[in-house]
Chain A
Amino acid sequence: AQTVTQSQPEMSVQEAETVTLSCTYDTSESDYYLFWYKQPPSRQMILVIRQEAYKQQNATENRFSVNFQKAAKSFSLKISDSQLGDAAMYFCAYRSASSGGSNYKLTFGKGTLLTVNP
């Protein structure tokens, strides 16, 4: 079974600064997807960014980028120019890419609570 580990329960960053959230995962599969979801106080789950394991290029979405190290099974999220609205719980998630209609469930880490200080 796949596991996802987020070793930082809490992180803080100054507004306009850069912060990196860590995520490692364990899998025996070679093809999969990785995601970062953001959960603000409203508790809605919002997709931040995703990465296909077969792509070597790191995904970017505006101020959000990832550092995907497949051999190390590491998938960190970098937030540049942090804004007050970035304050939230951030979850790393894994999804198998195997075919057949099953195994599409997301496996989540425990989350990292990000505080942005003005």
Chain B
Amino acid sequence: EPEVTQTPSHQVTQMGQEVILRCVPISNHLYFYWYRQILGQKVEFLVSFYNNEISEKSEIFDDQFSVERPDGSNFTLKIRSTKLEDSAMYFCASSGWRERSDTQYFGPGTRLTVL
């Protein structure tokens, strides 16, 4: 069964450094998402991406964040200058083309630790 994959599984970085989190969505899916979950809290929407552009973003997704689909398979989240409060689990998700029956399938997540 197709699945969403994410790399790395765990990323440790110093405050102020740039990180890139990578995701490979399910093949033939068209909608891509990033969510984050701070330890012990609920899952929060960051951004959705469709047709090579951001379709919606939350107030969390400020200028420090960017997303890209550099080729036909990868979907990346970049944090330009990490802050301590960026430490969280980051989930990528994807969904297919049928608007009224789509379900978002999640990857295993990347645990980001900012020191």
Interface residues of A (CB under 8 A from B): 33, 35, 37, 42-47, 50, 52, 91, 93, 95, 97, 99, 101-111
Report B9 CB to chain A, min CB distance, Å.
10
Q: Please, how many angstroms separate the alpha-carbon atoms of A95 and B104 in the complex?
A: 10
Residue among A44, A95, A101, A104 making CB contact with B109, cutoff 8 Å: A44
A44 & B108 in contact (Cβ 8 Å cutoff): yes
Q: Which residues of A contact B108 (CB under 8 A)?
A: 42-44
| Known A-B contacts A108-B43, A110-B41; A102 and B106 likewise in contact (beta carbons under 8 Å) | no
A110 & B42 in contact (Cβ 8 Å cutoff): yes
Report A111 CB to chain B, min CB distance, Å.
6
B19 at the interface (CB under 8 A from A): no
Q: Please, how many angstroms separate the alpha-carbon atoms of A45 and B106 in the complex?
A: 6
Residue of B nearest to A35 (CB): B103
| Interface pairs A-B: 3 shortest CB-CB | A45-B106, A105-B45, A108-B43
Interface residues of B (CB under 8 A from A): 31, 33, 35, 37, 41-45, 48, 50-51, 55-56, 58, 89, 91, 93, 95, 99-109, 111
Q: Main secondary structure on chain B at its contact with chain A?
A: strand
Number of A-B contacts (CB under 8 A): 67
Residue of B nearest to A100 (CB): B55
Q: Please, how many angstroms separate the alpha-carbon atoms of A4 and B5 in the complex?
A: 27
Report B66 CB to chain A, min CB distance, Å.
18
Report B29 CB to chain A, min CB distance, Å.
12
Q: Which residues of A contact B43 (CB under 8 A)?
A: 45, 91, 93, 106, 108
